[in-house]
Structure 1
Amino acid sequence: MDWANLGFKYTKTDFRYISVWKDGEWDEGILTEDNRLSISEGSTAIHYGQQCFEGLKAYRTKSGDIQLFRPDENSKRLNDSCDRLLMPQISSDKFIDACKQVIKANERFVPPYGSNASLYLRPFVIGVGDNIGVKAAQEYIFCVFCVPVGAYFKGDISPVNFIVSDYDRAASKGTGSVKVGGNYACSFYPNKLAKDRGFADCIYLDPQTHSKIEEVGAANFYAITKENVFITPKSESILPSITKKSLIYIAQNHLNMKVEERDIFIDELSELKEAGACGTAAVITPIGMIEDEGKQYTFNGGEEAGEITKKLYKILTEIQFGDREAPEGWIFKA
C-alpha cells in the first residue's frame, strides 16, 4: 500500500467483529470476512436513526508493537450514546477485546512506523429486527471494522480555512453531546456549501444565540489567546472529544499553560493568535483563517501552524506512536 498517501477513505480489510444482542444479552461475537450486513427492512437504525458509533486508532511503534490510544474513553463515550438512544451498553472489556481482535486479524493493514499513518477503528451499534413503531428495537448489532488512514484534511499539519455556518449542528438539549449519526447527516449540506466556496468545512455556533463557537465540522475547536491561554468551548451540545481532553492535559502538564473551558464568542476571533480543530480523525488541524459574515480572521499568518499548535501536535503524536512516555492508563497494547 502507498502508506504515505492514504488519506481518509474506506479500504476493505480482512476481518471485522460482529456481536448480536437478543433476548436481553450480547452473544460472544465473531470475526467475519464479510463486510456486508443483512438486516430487516424494519430496523430502527434505518427509519429512526437508532444508531451510534465511535472512532479510535491503533499505532505501530518503533519497536514494531501495536498500541491503542485511550480505548477505555471511547468505550465510555459509546455507552453514553447507547444510553441516550435506549440501546444496550457494551462492557469496556468486550469493547476493548473486540478492538484488539480486529487489530490482530488485520495486522497487515497497520501502517508502518514513520509513515505518519494509523489504523482507524470504527465501532458502531445499530438497532435492528422487525419493527415499525416509533420505539426502541428489541435486537441490536455491535460491530467493529478497521481501515488504514492518513490525514483527514489534506495537508496534515498545514492550516486550512473555515467559514461560519448559518446552520445548526445540534439542538442545545438534543444529541450534540453523543456520537450519533443524525448529528453528521445534518452537517452534509452546510459542509457542501462551505466546500463550494473553497473552504475545508464550516464552523457551527451555539443553536440558541448564534454568538458562541461550538464545533468545527466534525471536530472540536480550540484556540490560543495572545496571553498564551489554551481555550476551548464548553457547551452541553458539544461532543466531548478524547483528543481535546488529551490536549488539555498536555497543555497543562507539558507546556505549563493555563486552560479555560468556557464560552468563546465569535466576536473574540481577533483576540486569538492560534486556532485549530481536533479529534480522532483530524488529530490536530491548524486553522489558517475563519470567515464570518464576509470578514476574515487570520491566525499565525494563515500559512503555517502556530508554535504552540506544533508543540501540542508533536507531544500528542509522540505519545500515540510510542516515542514519549504516556500518562498512566492512556496506552493499551493490542
Structure 2
Amino acid sequence: MKKGVLLINLGSPDSYNPKDVKKYLGEFLMDERVIDIPYVARALLVRGIILKTRPKASAAAYKKIWWEEGSPLIVISERLKKKVQKQLKVPVALAMRYGSMTIKKGLQELVDKEVEEVILFPLYPQFAMATTETILVLAEQLKQDYFPNLKLSSIPAFYNKPDYIELLSNSIKKHLQGINYEHILFSYHGVPERHIKKSDITKSHCKIDGSCCITPSKAHQFCYRHQCLEVTRLVAERLQFKEGTFSTSFQSRLGFDPWLQPYTDRTIERMGKNGIKNMAIVTPAFVSDCLETLEEIAMEGKEIFEEMGGETFTTIPCLNDDEEWASLISKWVKEQFETTNN
C-alpha cells in the first residue's frame, strides 16, 4: 500500500479581519469536544454571547502577531512540513483542525497522490479531548464518509518519549544561555477540569487532588494534566533545575467553570509581587508559536510581570521548524510505518 503522512495542527483564521476571526472562532468553539455542553446550550453561549463580543478583541490580538507571510502558526507549520518532506520518501501533507486548511483537504491531497495508508500526526505532545481526540474522531468520520478505502493510523501523544524530552530540553537550555533568571515557568494550555475526568478510562482515578497525577494508573494514557506535569518533571530532571526554581501553570481559560490550576496570568502576577525580578517561560503544550504564545504569553504575560515589578521576562520559542524537530518527526513516522507493516 502506498503510504502518506498528514501533519495536523490547530488552525488559524484566514486573516485578522474580524469577519474571518468570527468564522474561525465559531467553528472552533462549536466543537463539542472544546465546549462539551449540550448543543442548544453551546449554541446559545457561542453564537448568542461569545461571537457577539470576542471576535473584535481576538482580531486585534491576531493583528499584533500576524506576519507578512500570514498566520505564524500556518507559516511555521508549512515550513516544518517542507522539512519533514525532504526526509521522507512518502507524500507529506498539512492540515488544520479548524479553518480553511481542512483535514478533508489534507486527506484528499494524499489520495490524489494515490496514497492508500495515512499516518495522522497530531502536532500535540499531550493528549486532550479538545486537541488530539477531536482530530482523530473527525478523521475517522471523514474516512467513513469520503475515503472508505483509506487506512488510517496515528502517532500517539509523545510527551514522555525520551528523544522528545531530550530535544525540548536542549532547546530550552540553548535559549537560556546567558540569561539571568530566577524562575522558569512551564505554561500549558488550559482545559476545564471536567475534561480530565471525562478522559479517565478507569472512571475513578482522576480526582485532581494533587496526588492522582503522580500515582501510577492506566488513566495517565489520556490524562492531559498528568502528561503536562510529566513533561515539566522530565525536563527539570534532565536540566537539573533546583527545586523551587521551576513550576507549572495553565493558560487560556474560558467561561466560569473551574479550569486546571494554577492559572498562568495569576502565577506571573504573584511572582512579580513576591519579588521575582527575572523569569523565563516555556510553553510545551505547543510545538509551533501561535496566538497563545506570541500574544498571550510574550506580550500580555510580559506586561503583567513588569506591572508587578518584574524586570526581565524571557519567552522561550516553541520547537517550530527546527531541523532536529523535523528529523524527529520523520524518525517517528518511519517507526510507525515499520510497526504497521509487521
TM-score for both structures, normalised by structure 1? 0.29
Higher helix share: 2
TM, length-normalised to structure 2: 0.28
User: Which structure carries more strand by proportion?
Assistant: 1
